[in-house]
Amino acid sequence: MWNSLQDLGRPVLVAMGAPPGGAPNIWVQLVPFALVLGIFYFIIILPMKRRQQKVQSFHSGLKVGDRVVTSGGIFGTITRLNDQSVQLQIADKVRIDVSRAAISGYQGQEPVATESQS
């Protein structure tokens, strides 16, 4: 088609129209950006905060005598609690110290902290 237009011997001009009425309102430009931020907050950030609060309340509610499972799959009973660690009895006269964050849930229940949360 381009060759056929040149063959006519006339120059071909293509003009793009300018937007009527000048620049669009700044608020109209910010609405899509605000919608994306709102969706991002409600779909990603808010559920993550709720999950962190649930895990934090679980770890702060641990007490001596609770039967728990670690993220590594070790079952045991809590015999001593510290600020950062927990002592578990995993067999007769066998006790280990693990990080409080390694406790993923109570025995026989769904884990509170998943591996992806670390």
Q: Quote the CA–CA distance of 72 and 95 in Å, as a whole number.
A: 16
Residue at token pair 């409080």:
100
pLDDT tens digits, one per residue of 68-118: 999 999 999 999 999 899 999 999 999 999 999 999 999 888 777 654 544
* Block residue for tokens 């009895």: 89
Task: State the pLDDT at residue 109.
Answer: 81
This prediction has a pTM of 0.63
What is the identity of the amino acid at 64? V
Q: Tokens in use for 8?
A: 């006519």
Category of 84 on φ-ψ map: left (φ > 0), alpha (ψ -120 to 50) or beta? alpha
Are 43 and 36 spatial neighbours (Cβ–Cβ below 8 Å)?
no
HEC sequence for 32-54: HHHHHHHHHHHHHHHHHHHHHHH
SS3 56: helix
Q: Is the pLDDT of residue 2 over 90?
A: no
Q: What mean pLDDT is predicted for residues 43-54?
A: 94
Give me the pLDDT at residue 29, please. Answer: 86
